[in-house]
Structure 1
Amino acid sequence: MNALAGDGYQAEFDSAAGCVRLCGSLRLGGLTEYAPISQLLEDALDGRSALTVDLSTLEFLNSSGIATLSKFVISARNRKDCALTIRGSSTIPWQGKSLNNLKRLMPSLELVFD
């Protein structure tokens, strides 16, 4: 399992489950600071036919984080060989609108709200 942790957040990739989990509150400053998370997401895609990104316990994601997530979704779409599922929570306000916008970038994206 690959894992990253910082001030108020955790990011982990469970290869056996095919799932990346982001938890807590991500308030990093700019795309450069999001690079390790971006790399974790990209590495998780490699050689996979399906991947789930679980954001259901991610309480906050700033605009740089949303941009990082958007770039990742575009990357997954361009690979054309991996079914991507993003799991969110209907009780976390930012997720409804922001995650639904990702469907515009990748129409085949499966969104699941708990």
Structure 2
Amino acid sequence: MNIETEDYKVIYDESASTVTFQGFLQLNGMTEYAPITDLLNGIADKTPPHIKLDLRKLELLNSSGINMISKFVLKIRKMETINMSVLGSEDVEWQDKSLNNLKRLMPNLQLEWE
């Protein structure tokens, strides 16, 4: 399942267990983030050995979106059977602080920068 709008895309490549986020993601509250949350939870329910979140082309993510991703990271941490990595871009302002905070939530999270 992919989610595509004028402002953003969330694309799941099952063969690579990679979820790619692109664009400007600034929805209002967790209710509007529900389709993305459902997509992420559906991936986790399949318990792949590894999940990669590619955020390099996600230019904007508001606090509700950061909350959504944080909750997903916590879910994966609790599962203990799935490794997770996050790809970020040093060129996107919001990512430095926010993505480093994910590492605090899940110390074995692999954080990669481009």
TM category (shorter chain) comes to over 0.9
Residue 8 of structure 1 aligns with an amino acid whose one-letter code is D
Match in the other structure for 2:91: 91
- Looking at structure 1, the residues matched to 93 and 101 of structure 2 have their Cα atoms a distance apart, in angstroms, of 14
Of all paired residues, the percent bearing the same amino acid is 42
**Match runs of 1:28-67 below 5 Å:** 28-45=27-44, 46-67=46-67
Equivalent residues of 1:20, 1:44 under 8 A apart = no
3-state SS in 2 of match to 1:47: coil
Match in the other structure for 1:3: 2
Q: Give the alignment's TM-score, normalised by structure 1.
A: 0.96
Which consecutive unaligned segments of at least 5 residues does structure 2 have? none
Which consecutive unaligned segments of at least 5 residues does structure 1 have? none
Which structure has the highest helix share of the two? 2
Q: CA RMSD in A?
A: 0.8
Residue 59 of structure 2 aligns with an amino acid whose one-letter code is E
Residue 70 of structure 1 aligns with an amino acid whose one-letter code is S
- Looking at structure 2, the residues matched to 64 and 7 of structure 1 have their Cα atoms a distance apart, in angstroms, of 19
Residue 67 of structure 2 aligns with an amino acid whose one-letter code is A
Residue 36 of structure 2 aligns with an amino acid whose one-letter code is I
Question: After TM superposition, which residue ranges in structure 1, 4 or more long, deviate above 2 angstroms?
Answer: none
- Looking at structure 2, the residues matched to 20 and 112 of structure 1 have their Cα atoms a distance apart, in angstroms, of 15
Match in the other structure for 2:22: 23
Number of equivalenced pairs: 113
Match in the other structure for 1:72: 72
